[in-house]
Amino acid sequence: MKTISEKDGFYFLTPTIIDWVDIFSRQTYRDILLHSIRFCQKNKGLRIHAWCLMSNHLHLIASAADGFNLADAIRDLKRHTSVEVIKFLQTDMQESHRLWMLERFAIGNGKYRFWQPGNEPKIIYSNPFLEQKLNYIHQNPVKAGLVYEADHYVHSSVIDYSGGKGLLHIDYVG
């Protein structure tokens, strides 16, 4: 499994949900993830340069602020999100798929795994590679047929790069 190895590097990351469960199709779970990202930005040195949240995975271009470690920030982000989502699934009787999802995430002995291991990290090694990944992230909802225009997708940094204000703080690149 590839790891985040360069402390000062910019990385393209794709954390993915176990079994590609479409959990982020619901606002409650998107809110949990966004809250976790904001917390890690404020307290763990996570710098988000671009992002796009799809129904079962997250694309990021990220780095760590001075004195912080990107691998630690992503680990903590995933851990907190996992704990909060599982807690919500265990208590929200209105969630129609809660038992099915809990079964998908169960690994035994009352423990759960929400995120697939790893993040598919790819170091951003050049400006053309950065531009390619930035375009890929922002066009993902269009290619998935969710919107006709990338800047109509709310759960992405494309809004920020188009002159608006999106849902997360962005440290711009390019």
- The domains located in the chain, with CATH, are 11-161 (3.30.70.1290)
pLDDT of residue 9: 86
Q: Is the pLDDT of residue 140 over 90?
A: yes
- Which of the four pLDDT bands, split at 50, 70 and 90, describes residue 2? confident
pLDDT of residue 1: 65
Q: What is the torsional sign of CA 142, 132, 3, 77?
A: negative
171 and 47 in contact (C-beta within 8 Å)?
Answer: yes
- Which of the four pLDDT bands, split at 50, 70 and 90, describes residue 70? very high
Q: Is the pLDDT of residue 170 over 70?
A: yes
pTM of the predicted protein model = 0.94
Q: How far is CA 77 from CA 72, 89, 109, in A?
A: 8, 18, 23
Question: Which residues have a Cβ under 8 Å from the Cβ of 40 and sit 6 or more positions away?
Answer: 46, 73, 74, 76, 77, 80
pLDDT of residue 174: 62
